[in-house]
Amino acid sequence: MRKLLKGIKTFGIVTHVKGIKNIKKRRKTRMKRSTVLFLIVVMAGLLLIGCGKQPVEDINAAQAAVNAVIAEGAEKYAPEDAKMLNDELTAALDEIKVQDGKTMKNYGKAQEMLAKVKADAEALKTSLPVKKEEAKNNALTAQEAAKTAIEDAKKLLAKAPKGKGSRADIEAMKADVKGLEDSLVEVQAAVDAEDYATANAKAKSIQEKAAEVSSQITQAMEKVGVKTQ
């Protein structure tokens, strides 16, 4: 009986001890699970918070870079590059708009796009002065050639009779030269406005017309026996 009682007591203690151990083990597992879940939640939260803010600084930087390159005359000297740049910026802003409308915002792709816009704008800005300088030089060369052609015509006219006694055709050609000079002023205006393409085209047309006028002056003067050479 005593043995039995002892056995029961022992079993009870053992059972009790085992029970306590199980509870502790379960608690430990639960704690570990909670910790992992907590960490996942925290990480997800951090991720969401990290990517959830609109990249205002990136937008401003890309926008400023594009504006700067446009102000430098990109649309005039590299129109296709300027268009591509504007399109890239629009696409990046569209991507931001899409993310704005979502609960789980992720601006990562938009940031990449904005970074590319900025880099492309800066690259274009670097290459622009070369293109601009080339256009300017072409315009100035054409302007100089036009000036020389007009001077040549004027030199020929200087040999013609002046005032009363001058010939109608010579007077007409003097007026032609005035028209050429007026147009040359427009070339300078285009150069001043950095519209080098217009300046170049106009200067070339003036040069062509001045050569024609010079040839007519020579013919008219030779007709009346004035030596032009």
Partner 1 sequence: MIQIIKRISLVCTLICLAGCNAPQIPPEAKLAEEQELSLWRSGAQVYLPVQYDQYRANFLKARTDLFRENSRFVWFRNYEPVRSELKNVLREGNLLSVQLEQRKQSLHDSIREDIISLQNRIDKLKELTWKINEGRLARRDLVKAEILLLETRKCYEENDLKKAEERMNMIADHLYAAESILFPIFNRYADKNQIMKWKQWVEDTIRESKAHHITSLVVNKSERVLIVYKKGLQYKTYPIGLGLSGSQDKLHAGDRATPEGRYRITKKLPRSKYHKALLINYPNEDDRRQFQIAKEKGLVPNQTEIGGLIEIHGGGKDIMTYGCIAMNNRDIDGLFNIVKVGTPVTIVGAVNSENSLSSHLEGL
Using rule CB under 8 A, residue 115 touches partner 1: no
CA atoms of 132 and 129, how far apart (whole Å): 5
Using rule CB under 8 A, residue 192 touches partner 1: no
Choose among 126, 128, 150: nearest CA to 211.
150
Cβ-based nearer residue to partner 1, 7 or 179: 179
Using rule CB under 8 A, residue 222 touches partner 1: no
CB 199 within 8 A of CB 169: no
Using rule CB under 8 A, residue 88 touches partner 1: no
CA atoms of 202 and 122, how far apart (whole Å): 33
CB 78 within 8 A of CB 124: yes
Using rule CB under 8 A, residue 102 touches partner 1: yes
Cβ-based nearer residue to partner 1, 105 or 118: 105
Residue type, 22: N
Member of 196, 202, 214, 217 binding partner 1 (CB under 8 A): 202
User: Given CA atoms 75, 76, 80, 81 in this order, what sign does their dihedral have?
Assistant: negative
Provide the binding-site residues for partner 1, judged by CB under 8 A. 29, 32-33, 36, 80, 83, 90-91, 94-95, 97-99, 101-102, 106, 109, 161, 164-169, 171-176, 178-180, 182-183, 201-202, 204-206, 208-209, 213, 224
